[in-house]
């Protein structure tokens, strides 16, 4: 994206907290920020931040937050193995963390509180959209508060949900990779073409050989 002249804003979060000390650092079109406000052509404003600032653990027990991050990464690694086995036996993907979040009442309550808190602050500041990540729950809905309403959006993640946010035609939408018909069609065509797989393997091998020579 940078090579095409697209401005890239890296919004820091709890998994890359060390980068927060470099807030407002820029190299060309690359910028590191802790939060971002986008002024759209239709005079609406989007407020973007990661969302971990709402965590009590991030504010008062950072070691506990880091432990939770490590535990989540381990869960993702285990989940990858389970999904591989599931795929071998012809079953679909399984998301352990989503099942845990959806089954534990305290987790559901936390998610609801998180969304409500983000919405209330956004309304108070006069924003039309409030955009977060952190809780990994893709969402696009209107939240009403005592002072007004705001469009709350959450990008989800690109590990389990394979979701992202897109802005076009003056509106935000949640993109789901697994629901994209074109992606499904291309993936099916690719995996049924053994020759394409072999060509990719050979290409990767050549790239690695070039990398070794260059180093």
- Give the tens place of pLDDT for each residue, 194-204: 555 556 666 66
Q: What is the dihedral of CA 118, 123, 127, 131, to 10 degrees?
A: 20
State the Cα–Cα distance between residues 16 and 23, nearest whole angstrom: 12
- Give the tens place of pLDDT for each residue, 143-202: 999 999 999 999 999 888 899 999 999 999 999 998 898 887 777 665 555 555 556 666
In this structure, the answer to whether residues 118 and 138 fall within a common structural domain is yes
In this structure, the answer to whether residues 94 and 145 fall within a common structural domain is yes
State the Cα–Cα distance between residues 45 and 36, nearest whole angstrom: 10
pLDDT attached to residue 142: 97
Instruction: Count the residues in the chain.
Output: 215
Mean per-residue pLDDT, 37-63: 78
pLDDT attached to residue 71: 60
- Kindly give the interhelix angle for 181-192 and 194-214, rounded to the nearest 10 degrees: 90
Domains identified in the chain, total number: 2
Domain carrying residue 190: 180-215
In this structure, the answer to whether residues 185 and 106 fall within a common structural domain is no
| Other residues' Cβ atoms within 10 Å of the Cβ of residue 212 | 8
In this structure, the answer to whether residues 49 and 96 fall within a common structural domain is yes
In this structure, the answer to whether residues 174 and 186 fall within a common structural domain is no
Look at residue 72 and tell me whether its pLDDT is greater than 50: yes
Look at residue 140 and tell me whether its pLDDT is greater than 50: yes
In this structure, the answer to whether residues 132 and 113 fall within a common structural domain is yes
In this structure, the answer to whether residues 112 and 72 fall within a common structural domain is yes
In this structure, the answer to whether residues 100 and 188 fall within a common structural domain is no
In this structure, the answer to whether residues 114 and 34 fall within a common structural domain is yes
| Other residues' Cβ atoms within 10 Å of the Cβ of residue 26 | 12
pLDDT attached to residue 59: 46
pLDDT attached to residue 159: 83
- Give the tens place of pLDDT for each residue, 88-139: 667 666 665 565 555 544 555 667 788 998 999 999 999 999 999 988 889 9
> Quick one: DSSP state of residue 34?
S
Mean per-residue pLDDT, 206-211: 70
């Amino acid at each position: 994206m940078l090579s095409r002249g697209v401005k890239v804003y890296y919004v820091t979060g709890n998994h890359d907290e060390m980068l927060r000390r470099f807030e407002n650092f820029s190299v060309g079109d690359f910028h590191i920020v802790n939060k971002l406000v986008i002024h759209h052509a239709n005079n609406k404003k989007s407020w973007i931040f990661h969302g971990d600032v709402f965590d009590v653990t991030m504010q008062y027990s950072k070691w506990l937050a880091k432990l939770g991050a490590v535990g989540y990464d381990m869960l993702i690694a285990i989940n990858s193995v389970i999904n591989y086995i599931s795929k071998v036996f012809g079953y679909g993907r399984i998301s352990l963390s989503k099942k845990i979040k959806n089954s534990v009442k305290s987790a559901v309550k936390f998610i609801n509180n998180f969304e409500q808190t983000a919405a209330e602050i956004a309304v108070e500041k006069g924003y039309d959209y409030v955009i977060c990540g952190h809780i990994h729950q893709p969402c696009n809905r209107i939240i009403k508060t005592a002072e007004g309403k705001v469009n709350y959006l959450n990008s989800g993640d690109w590990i389990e949900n394979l979701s992202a946010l897109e802005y076009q035609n003056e509106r935000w939408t949640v993109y789901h990779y697994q629901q994209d018909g074109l992606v499904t069609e291309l993936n099916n065509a690719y995996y049924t073409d053994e020759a394409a797989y072999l060509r990719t393997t050979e290409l990767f091998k050549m790239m690695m050989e070039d990398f070794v020579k260059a180093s």
